[in-house]
Amino acid sequence: MQKFEVTILGCSSATPTSKRNPSAQLINIADRYFLVDCGEGTQMQLRRYKIKFQRIGHIFISHMHGDHYYGLMGLLSSMHLLGRSADLHLYGPPVLKEIIDMQYKHSETRLHYNLIFHPLQQDSADLIFEDEKVTVHTIILNHRIPCTGFLFREKDKPRKISREKITEFKIPYSELNNIKLGGDYVTKDGLTIPNERITGGPMPLFSYAYCSDTCYDEKVIEQVKQVDLLYHEATFMDDMEGRAKETFHSTTKQAALVAVRAKVKKLMIGHYSARYSDLQPMLEEAQSVFSNTVLALEGEKYNIEALN
C-alpha cells in the first residue's frame, strides 16, 4: 500500500498565535512531497517535525494573502543556501512570480536550482500536475481575492498478486508486471487464466481536497464529491456567520454542510481565528452537522487510508 499522508504545519488564520502557525500542509503521496501553502514560519515547522524539506518537489500557493505565502521566500532561500540542485515547481497566482523576481533582483540573489513557476488559472478548474501516481487539480474558491484549492487523487495502482497463485499456475517473473496492470495469464498450453483468479483486484484509490480560504459556496460541492478527506476552512463558529460572510470565510457548520452535501468520507476543519484558544467547541459544532469531522492540529499526521 503506497503512502498517502497529510501533515499539518500550520492551522491558524490571518495571524500566528503562541500555539498556532499560519496555513501550511505537507502531503506525502507515494514519497512525492507536496507543500500546500507556506505561511510565516513554515520552514521552522518542517524542521520541528523532522521533514526533509529538500525532498519537496512541488509547492502550491492558494492565494496572495500573507498568511498563506509569507514563509515562501525564506524557504526558497534556505533550499538555495543548503545546496539544493533539483528542480522545484511552484504553482500560484500569476503575480507571485513578480514578487519573487523583485525580491531576488534587489537582494542580488541567483538560485542554484531551477525554480519553475506555473501560473494558475483563477476562473476555471484545471489539471496542474500529473505523473504515474497522482493528479492534482485546482478548485476555484470564493474569497475576497482570487483563490484556488487543490484536489489530489491517486491514479490506478498495480493489482496485488497472490503468492499462492504464482506457485499454483507456475507464473514466470516476466509475466508479473502485465498481470499487475490487469492482464490475464496465458499458459504455455494456451489456457487463459483470468486476472481476477490471480490477483486480489484493484487497490483502493484515495483522494484529498484542500479548500483554502472561501465563503460557503455550493459550486465547490461537485468537485470535492465523495473525496476521502476534505480539508475545509472554518475560521469562525456559527454565531459569527455575519463576520464570516463579510470576510469571505466559512463557519464550522458551513464547512460541515459542504461535507454533507458532497458526501465526503471525512472532514478536517482548520484556519481557526485567533479569537479561539479552545478548539473543542468548534469541533463539536461541526460534528453536530457532520459527525465524521476532525480538527487540523499542528504536528499531526493524518493517514488518509486509516481515516476511512
**Domain locations in the chain as residue ranges:** 4-157+203-307, 163-198
Check whether 279 has a pLDDT greater than 70: yes
pLDDT tens digit sequence for 109-129: 999 999 999 999 989 999 999
Instruction: Identify the pLDDT of residue 188.
Output: 77
What band does 176 get if pLDDT is binned at 50, 70 and 90?
confident
Check whether 302 has a pLDDT greater than 60: yes
Check whether 1 has a pLDDT greater than 70: no
Instruction: Point out the least confidently predicted range of 88-92, 159-163, 208-212, 264-268.
Output: 159-163
pLDDT tens digit sequence for 76-91: 999 999 999 999 999 9
- CA dihedral of residues 2, 58, 20, 151 (deg, nearest 10): -60
Work out the percent of the chain whose per-residue pLDDT is above 70. Answer: 96
Residue 110 three-state SS: coil
Question: Distance between CA atoms of 184 and 198, rounded to whole angstroms?
Answer: 8
Question: Distance between CA atoms of 209 and 229, rounded to whole angstroms?
Answer: 6
Instruction: Identify the pLDDT of residue 283.
Output: 98
Provide the grid cell at 99: 514578487
Q: Which residues contact 173 (CB under 8 A, 6 or more apart)?
A: none
Average pLDDT, the chain: 93
Work out the percent of the chain whose per-residue pLDDT is above 90. Answer: 81
Catalytic residue among 31, 37, 67, 238: 67
184 is catalytic: no
Amino acid at position 64, single letter: M
Question: Distance between CA atoms of 180 and 201, rounded to whole angstroms?
Answer: 9
Instruction: Identify the pLDDT of residue 2.
Output: 74
> What superfamily in CATH does domain 4-157+203-307 come from?
Ribonuclease Z/Hydroxyacylglutathione hydrolase-like (3.60.15.10)
Residue given cell 496465458 in the structure block: 186
The conformational region for residue 234 under phi > 0 = left, psi -120 to 50 = alpha, else beta, is beta
Amino acid at position 55, single letter: R
Neighbours of 187 (CB within 10 A): 11
Instruction: Identify the pLDDT of residue 86.
Output: 97
